Structure 1
Amino acid sequence: MVHFCQTNSSAGEPKAKLFCAHQSFARKEVERAFGVLQARFAIVKNPSLTMDKEKIGNIMKACIILHNMIVEDERDAETIDNVTEFQQGGADGSGSSRVRPPDRLPSNVHNIMANRADIRDQQKHHQLKADLVEHIWNKFGH
């Protein structure tokens, strides 16, 4: 698993500590959301290696939409016996079990390759991380 920070390497700086705490919380939320989807849909737990990324992305979006429809239907019908199965406290503190679909992915090869190059650019990575640390510090550090 790829992590943006190592919590033990930045023990001295308050900005870095705050960033790592927020990054850790976000990672746990993503892992929880995928756990819910994997428990409900076998295709999410065991995707086919022969599928391309676009097909897997479409399947994920469909599973997210279906999950949200099921959750809303169960809430409307008040048939959930064990609400805690899907509610462990959302990011907003409301306990919402809705999963947000990813933003639209690039559709052509040129955009995909450009994004791939950007992701692997170490200088951009460090600058984006520094900007994110500052943003989180400015928003939550005072």
Structure 2
Amino acid sequence: MDDYMRMSERTARDSLYTLSRGVVETFGDVYLRKLSLHDLQELYAAHEERHGFPGMIGSIDCTHWKWKKLSEAVASQDLWIWHAFFGVVGFNNDVNFLDQSPIFDDLLNGKAPDAPFTVNGNVYKYGYYLTDGIYPQYSTFVKAFRHPVEERDNFFKRRQERIRKDVERAFGVLKVKWHIVEHAERPLDLESLRYIMYACIIMHNMVIEDKGRIIAHYILTEPRHVQFQPGTTDYLHRVVDIQDANKYRQLQEDLTDYIFYGNNNDNE
């Protein structure tokens, strides 16, 4: 833009920021929307059919950008990015990033719909994300076994690690598709960076829709409002439910049995 349009460096930066903000404010409600019950049900069905994981929302991971920022994202099998959060390295890292992330805010305050599912005869209240080993043992995360011994555990570990690469593939496509994501050379304030990154993610999701690969098609729904304020009994009950390590282990075992024995029966 500097050479072709004879624009000054400052004008080019201001135009980039204005464009990014316009994309986010115009299209964000659809292409970077919060998950609705309809979205969750379609994701559940698609991930069980394609991956064999009932109740799976997507895969979650963090990545370091060359901007010296840390980014967290959730992607589904179609590489649609459902959630993104950006922080500054030094204040956020892989270990404490989750404490700063808003990934569970809507679930805790009741704005996100409850979408229960059943596996191995046990009912679970919330969907889950596939993660790597650094994430905590929450009932909304499913990790691979760290040191599998049994054949079923090894089978589950291989399957889980292969499938959670969806989010890594989404990161890779995003970097290839938008040059600025991988090669931002000029220092920008955090607000500007967020608008630019969200704009790139929104346009990434637009391309997925345009190619006809999306799992969850947009349906206009009534917005949900906060039902549980922080500190209230209902809110704290949800915190306990999400951070319940026993439920995490039970879900991991149920999924392992479901996937291993289900595949063996299919093969037979």
TM-score with structure 1 length normalisation? 0.50
Q: Write 1 or 2 for the structure with the bigger share of strand.
A: 2
Q: Indicate the structure whose relative CO is greater, using CA pairs within 8 Å and at least 6 residues apart.
A: 1
Q: Which has the larger radius of gyration?
A: 2
